[in-house]
Amino acid sequence: MSYAADATSRYKLQEFAKAIRGACRWNEPWFDIVKFMEIVMVQVFPEFNWEVVPNEELPGLEGLTLTKEHLIQLPERVYMDAVAGFGRARFSVAHEVAHYLLIDDNSVALCRSDVKLPAYRKPEWQANTLAAELLVPTDMTVGMGVDEIAWVFGVSFTAAKVHIKIKQEEGRP
């Protein structure tokens, strides 16, 4: 059993991330995803809530988005690391926020199929892509290397490497 989401493209997700940053008037590279979740999301979506739970409540998970309950749950270690600015944890929070922003009851369905879904139909790919663009907007990284991206945008070296790889695949500077 897997999930299939409405199709979307990397370009549309990049534009969505730009619109979010623009609406927040967030022009600096470092996007404070924790502040965005704690303050902006609550203002924009009155039904939205988030909670920090003991690590053992979400064993092996970096976070959980319960769209029907309008809730994001984060293990305490992930939340504390995100507040401290650790890249992997910041990405985990951004990933859960992206799930919340992208998924509603009509956009995702359970499916059983022998057909392999393309990435643009997978909720995890979509959440990763939107999270990446929120934290590291492609148009702000022209000429930057992995170390500079990781430092300036507050992401892990792994995330910075993936960003560079995707830009190269797309033929972007």
d(C-alpha 16, C-alpha 57), whole Å: 32
Average pLDDT over residues 10-18: 95
CA angle 17, 20, 21 (to 5 degrees): 90
Instruction: Please give the residue range of the domain that contains residue 114.
Output: 2-170
**pLDDT class for 112, splitting at 50, 70, 90?**
very low
The pLDDT of residue 7: 73
Total number of residues shown for the chain: 173
Q: Between 107 and 88, name the one with better pLDDT.
A: 88
For residue 107, pLDDT beyond 80: no
**pLDDT class for 170, splitting at 50, 70, 90?**
confident
Domains identified in the chain, total number: 1
d(C-alpha 156, C-alpha 164), whole Å: 13
The two structure tokens encoding residue 37: 């979740």
The pLDDT of residue 2: 62
d(C-alpha 58, C-alpha 106), whole Å: 26
Side-chain half-sphere exposure of 18, counting CA atoms within 13 A: 10
